[in-house]
Amino acid sequence: MYTIKDVALKAGLSQATVSRVINNHPYVSEDKKRAVQQAMDELGYVPNSSAQRLRNIKTNKVAVLVSRIVNPFFSQLVDAMERQAATAGYQLILCNTRIDPKKELDFFQLLKSKQVDGIIMASAENRWSAIEPFTKYGPIIYCNEYDPDATVTRVRLDQIEGGYIGTRHLLDKGHRKIAYCQGNDSSVSTNRRKGFLKAVTEAGMEPNPDWMFKNIFTIEDGRRIFNHLRELPDSPTAIFTGSDEVAAGIIKEAQAHSWQVPEDLAVVGFDDQPIAELLDPQITTINQFTSDIGIKAMEVMLEIINQPSLNTSRDILLPLHLIERQST
């Protein structure tokens, strides 16, 4: 393992000059630059990054917090982030919290002990108040998930818009009886419902509480919801769900009861998962353009690392898109 000293010796120059070449400092003559370059090449020299870091307080690493990397949304997000980070010579440290608040908090030691230059939270198991003390050790930003109390940059989707365009689409198709399913009560879900309500009231209608459902996540939940709707005295002609899985469950169960989709019931999903295209009929859905979020979040993080004054409280909203298919 060669050091900068070896390179300096071989090139007949000082360590300082070698260091300047490595870091592209001005004020190094062309011929010395070449000499150093050649010495480095011949020795196959690579700077020891621990030593660099010790001086620089710079790691060229960013930690990404996700709750479950096996979730396709997260793996796609991480993929995009990794790609973006790589273009700037950064590496990505994967922090899989497995939905454990304690484990999540532990990862912030990485920032404290200067093992990463910043942390991107793509999931959040702790309240902002628990995270806040770590902000003095380096930049922290939210991506997709966020805590409304947080005073840092948040890159996220415009869920209000997402809820709005999905509903708007059903309204445009002539539907007036629209049901709505959501998952938990996260900020994402809440905003999405706001969009739904906005579209509905804009159309001069008011939402029917009998057609609004919470905590609906799985294919099985979707089946259950259909059976519930089916037995209602007044059933809706369309439904907007929080995920493609739920949409798939509803469609499958509707077909099992000889309902026609979209004629008897129009269904809009969310996420544009692979299943949305595989089903018959293919599911009309809202696409999160996951890669865009990841790229944007990493882009912003790298900006902040290079210019800490940018580390302010701001919301960066990314658009959602309607993918019209056969289920509406």
Residue ranges that bind a second copy, judged by CB under 8 A: 1, 46-51, 53-54, 59, 61, 68-70, 72, 74-76, 78-79, 82-83, 86, 91-96, 98, 103, 109-110, 112-115, 137, 275, 278
Closer residue to a second copy in complex, CB, 105/212: 105
Closer residue to a second copy in complex, CB, 192/296: 296
**Distance of alpha carbon 200 from alpha carbon 178, whole angstroms:** 9
Closer residue to a second copy in complex, CB, 171/259: 259
**Residue 27 partner contact from a second copy, DNA, none using kind-dependent CB cut-offs of 5 to 8 Å:** DNA
Peptide bond into 281 cis (omega under 30): yes
**Residue 174 partner contact from DNA, a second copy, none using kind-dependent CB cut-offs of 5 to 8 Å:** none
Site residues (vs DNA, CB under 7 A)? 1, 3-5, 12-20, 22-23, 26-29, 31-32, 45-48, 51-52, 54-56
**Distance of alpha carbon 109 from alpha carbon 37, whole angstroms:** 37
User: Minimal distance in Å, beta carbon 175 to a second copy?
Assistant: 28
Closer residue to a second copy in complex, CB, 90/146: 90
Closer residue to DNA in complex, CB, 25/176: 25
CB atoms within 10 A of CB 245: 22
Please spell the DSSP secondary structure of 2-49, one letter per residue. --HHHHHHHHTS-HHHHHHHHTT-SS--HHHHHHHHHHHHHHT----H
Among left, alpha and beta (phi > 0; psi -120 to 50; other), residue 13 is beta
Cβ contacts of residue 318 below 8 Å, gap of 6+?
155, 156, 157, 158, 289, 292, 293, 296
CB atoms within 10 A of CB 160: 19
User: Minimal distance in Å, beta carbon 194 to a second copy?
Assistant: 31
User: Minimal distance in Å, beta carbon 30 to DNA?
Assistant: 7
C-alpha of 15 from chain center: 43
C-alpha of 185 from chain center: 18
C-alpha of 33 from chain center: 43
Closer residue to DNA in complex, CB, 20/169: 20
Of the candidates 258, 244, 260, the residue with the CA atom closest to the CA atom of residue 181: 244
User: Minimal distance in Å, beta carbon 131 to DNA?
Assistant: 22
